[in-house]
C-alpha cells in the first residue's frame, strides 16, 4: 500500500479487474514414426511449419515412409504447424533405454492432436491412447490396419496376441502391391496407367465378411474417450517419388481437424469434409458396413457423390458414453485447458468473496464467447452454461485448507449425425398440411 508523506499530486495505475481467458490452440499436431532419414533428430520432438521444412530436416529421398506421407497429408489438408518425433531405425513408441518415445511429447503444451501413422498393433494403440489420457489436453488419431479381411475384426479390440505388427508398413511394400487405386470393396491391382481405365473391368471383389473370425483377437483399438479411429487407407501420390501408394489416414485426418478448427471452431465436427490428396480408397465401404463400424467408434472414410470424405465423428468411448462425439470431447479439453491457464493468477491470492466473484466473472466471460460462437447450446446464457463459485462451493474448512472450488457446467452442441425427414402423403387442401408460399 503506497505511503503519502510529501504534499503533492500522485497518479497511480489500478488494475481494471478483468483478466480475459484466452482460448488455447487446438490445431497443432504431433506425429511419431520413422523418417526417411532415420538419424535426423532421432528422439527429439521438432517443430515443423511447412512441408519444405520437413523434407529439409528429415530427408527427401523416396519412397516415403508412413510418417512422411502423414506429414505431407497434414499440410495438404490445412495443417499449419506440427511436431515430428523421429523414432529412428528400430525405434519404439514406448521408448528405449537410449532414446525416449512418446513421453518426449509430454512437456509440449501446444500439442492438441497425436498420431503414430501406420502403427496398428495393440501395444502402439495403447501407448498413444494412454499418453492422451495422461495429458488430458490432446486427442489421438488412430489408424486401423491397412488390410482388413473381416470387418467383424474391427468390432473387437486388438490384443498382444493379434496379427498386427508393431512396425509400420513400408511405403515401398504398399507401392509394390499396386501402383493403381481401387474403387471396389477390395484392392484391385494394376499399374498407374490403369487407374480409372474403363476398358479393363475390375475383377470381382474378394469376400471380406466371414461368418465368424478365425482369430481369438480383433483389430480395433481399445475403448477410450481420448482417441478416434479412421479407415480405410487412402491411395495417395507419394510426394517424393510420384507413384501411387497407400497411406495411413491419420495425417490427412489430422489436417482436416486443423482446417475445421481454423474455419469453424473446435466445436464443429471434423466430418463431411473432403480428404485432399486422396485419389481413391483401398476399400469402398457400403452404408451397411459403416453401420457395423459406427457403433464401435470406427469413423469411415467414404466416397460420397464422387468425393472422398470423412463420414464419422465419434471417439472410441463407446456409443453409450457421454463422450462418444469427437467435437464434444475436444471442446471440453479446449475449455478446461483454457480456464486452467487463464486463471493462473488466482494462485496465492486472498481466498475470499472478492476472489470468488472475480473467478466467476472471468470464466463466465470466456464461456459467453463460446456460446456466441455457437459452441454451446441454448437461447440464453442460463441454458448454455453456469458458473458457481461462492460460499457454498468454498466452505470454511476448504478455505482453511487453501482450496478454491468453482463449479462450471456447459451444454455442448452435438453434431447432427442422423438426419431424419418424415414424409407422407396428404390430401390437397386438407388441414394436415401448409399451403405452399
Please state, in angstroms and as integers, the Cα–Cα distance from residue 428 to each residue in 421, 422, 425, 433, 436, following that order.
20, 18, 9, 8, 11
pLDDT on residue 167: 52
Q: Is the pLDDT of residue 164 over 80?
A: no
pLDDT value, residue 162: 53
> Average pLDDT of 387-393?
96
CA distances from 5 to 1, 8, 10, 13 (A): 13, 9, 11, 19
Question: What does the alpha-carbon distance between residue 341 and residue 363 come to, in Å, rounded to a whole number?
Answer: 11
313 and 184 in one domain?
yes
Residue range 290-337, pLDDT digits in tens: 999 998 899 999 999 999 999 999 999 988 899 999 999 999 999 999
* Residue 295, in any domain of the structure: yes
**Higher pLDDT, residue 208 or 405:** 405
Kindly state the helix (H) or strand (E) to which residue 52 belongs, with its residue range. helix 51-58
Q: Which three cell numbers stand for residue 83?
A: 511436431
Whether 410 maps to a domain, the answer reads yes
Whether 320 and 239 map to the same domain: the answer is yes
What's the CA gap between 126 and 106, in Å, rounded? Answer: 16
3-state DSSP assignment of residue 323: coil
- pLDDT for 169 equals 52
Same domain, 268 and 372: no
The residues near 272 (Cβ < 8 Å, ≥ 6 apart) are: 309, 310, 311
Q: What is the mean pLDDT of residues 385-400?
A: 96
192: domain CATH number is 3.40.50.11780
The verdict on residue 183 lying in a domain is yes
Residue 227 CB neighbour total at 10 angstroms: 26
Q: Quick one: what percent of the chain has pLDDT higher than 90?
A: 73
Claim to verify: residue 315 and residue 390 sit in the same structural domain? no
Q: Which of 2, 233, 3 is nearest to 118 (CA)?
A: 233
Same domain, 361 and 259: no
Alpha-carbon distance of 108 to 178, in angstroms, equals: 39
Are residues 238 and 203 located together in one domain of the fold? Answer: yes
Residues 250 and 391 in one domain: no
The confidence score (pLDDT) of residue 11 equals 85
What three-state secondary structure class fits 259? helix
Alpha helix (H) residue ranges in 247-395: 250-263, 287-294, 326-342, 353-372, 381-384
**Rg of the chain in Å (alpha carbons):** 26
- Residue 202 has what pLDDT? 44
Q: Residue 425: what pLDDT?
A: 87
CA-wise closest residue to 81 among 312, 255, 233: 255
Q: What is the pLDDT of residue 418?
A: 86
Residue that is last in its domain, among 327, 357, 383? 327
Say how far apart CA 232 and CA 249 lie, in whole Å: 7
**Same-domain pairing of 319 and 374:** no
Q: At what angle do helices 250-263 and 66-76 cross, to 10 degrees?
A: 20
- pLDDT tens for residues 338-353? 999 999 999 999 999 9
Are both 207 and 73 inside the same structural domain? yes
The pLDDT mean for the chain works out to 87
Do 122 and 268 lie in a common domain? yes
Q: Please give the average per-residue pLDDT across 383-403, as a whole number.
A: 96
Q: Is the dihedral of CA 375, 369, 137, 140 positive or negative?
A: positive
In a domain, 339, yes or no: no
Cell numbers representing residue 174 in the block: 504398399
- The reply to whether 310 and 355 lie within a common domain is no
Residue 3 is assigned to a structural domain of this protein: no
pLDDT digits (tens, 9 = 90+) for 46-76: 999 999 999 999 999 989 999 999 999 999 9
407: in domain:
yes
62 found inside a domain: yes
User: At 388, phi and psi to the nearest 5?
Assistant: -130, 115
The number of folded domains in the chain is 2
> Is residue 207 domain-shared with residue 256, that is, in the same domain?
yes
pLDDT over 70 for what percent of the chain? Answer: 84
Q: How many angstroms separate the CA atoms of 33 and 10, rounded? A: 62
| Range(s) of the domain holding residue 428 | 349-437
For residue 201, is it within any domain? yes
List pLDDT tens digits, range 200-240: 444 433 333 333 334 457 899 999 999 999 999 999 999 99
Amino acid at each position: 500500500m503506497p505511503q503519502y508523506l510529501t504534499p503533492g499530486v500522485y497518479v497511480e495505475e489500478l488494475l481494471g479487474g478483468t483478466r480475459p481467458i484466452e482460448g488455447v490452440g487446438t490445431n497443432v499436431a504431433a506425429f511419431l514414426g520413422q523418417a526417411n532419414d532415420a538419424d535426423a533428430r532421432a528422439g527429439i520432438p521438432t517443430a515443423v511449419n511447412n512441408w519444405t521444412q520437413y523434407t529439409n530436416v528429415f530427408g527427401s529421398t523416396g519412397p516415403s515412409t508412413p510418417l512422411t506421407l502423414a506429414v505431407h497429408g497434414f499440410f495438404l489438408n490445412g495443417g499449419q504447424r506440427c511436431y515430428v518425433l523421429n523414432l529412428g531405425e528400430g525405434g519404439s513408441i514406448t521408448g528405449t533405454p537410449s532414446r525416449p518415445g512418446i513421453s518426449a511429447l509430454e512437456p509440449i503444451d501446444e500439442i492438441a492432436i497425436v498420431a503414430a501413422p501406420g502403427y496398428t498393433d495393440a501395444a502402439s494403440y495403447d501407448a498413444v491412447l494412454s499418453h492422451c489420457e495422461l495429458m488430458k489436453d490432446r486427442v489421438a488419431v488412430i489408424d486401423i490396419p491397412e488390410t482388413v479381411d473381416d470387418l467383424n475384426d474391427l468390432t473387437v479390440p486388438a490384443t498382444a496376441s493379434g496379427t498386427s505388427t508393431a512396425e509400420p508398413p513400408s511405403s515401398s511394400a504398399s507401392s509394390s502391391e499396386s501402383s493403381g487405386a481401387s474403387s471396389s470393396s477390395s484392392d484391385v491391382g494394376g499399374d498407374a496407367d490403369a487407374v480409372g481405365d474403363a476398358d479393363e473391368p475390375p475383377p470381382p471383389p474378394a469376400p471380406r465378411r466371414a461368418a465368424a473370425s478365425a482369430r481369438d483377437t480383433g483389430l480395433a483399438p481399445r475403448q477410450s474417450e481420448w482417441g478416434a479411429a479412421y479407415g480405410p487407407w487412402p491411395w495417395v501420390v507419394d510426394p517424393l517419388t510420384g507413384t501411387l501408394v497407400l497411406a495411413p489416414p491419420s495425417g490427412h485426418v489430422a489436417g482436416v481437424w486443423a482446417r475445421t478448427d481454423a474455419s469453424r471452431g473446435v466445436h464443429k465436427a471434423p466430418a463431411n469434409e473432403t480428404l485432399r490428396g486422396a485419389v481413391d480408397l483401398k476399400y469402398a465401404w457400403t452404408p451397411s458396413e459403416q453401420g457395423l463400424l459406427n457403433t464401435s467408434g470406427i469413423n469411415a472414410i467414404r466416397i460420397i457423390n464422387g468425393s472422398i470424405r470423412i463420414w464419422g465423428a465419434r471417439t472410441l468411448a463407446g456409443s453409450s458414453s457421454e463422450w462418444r462425439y469427437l467435437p464434444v470431447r475436444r471442446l471440453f479439453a479446449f475449455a478446461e485447458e483454457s480456464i486452467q491457464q487463464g486463471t493462473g493468477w488466482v494462485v496465492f491470492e486472498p481466498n475470499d468473496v472478492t476472489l470468488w466473484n472475480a473467478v466467476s466473472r472471468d470464466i463466465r466471460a470466456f464461456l459467453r464467447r463460446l456460446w456466441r460462437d455457437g459452441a454451446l447450446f441454448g437461447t440464453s446464457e442460463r441454458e448454455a452454461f453456469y458458473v458457481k463459485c461462492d460460499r457454498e462451493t468454498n466452505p470454511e474448512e476448504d478455505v482453511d485448507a487453501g482450496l478454491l472450488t468453482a463449479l462450471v457446467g456447459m451444454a455442448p452442441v452435438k453434431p447432427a449425425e442422423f438426419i431424419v425427414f418424415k414424409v407422407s402423403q396428404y390430401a390437397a387442401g386438407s388441414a394436415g398440411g401448409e399451403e405452399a408460399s
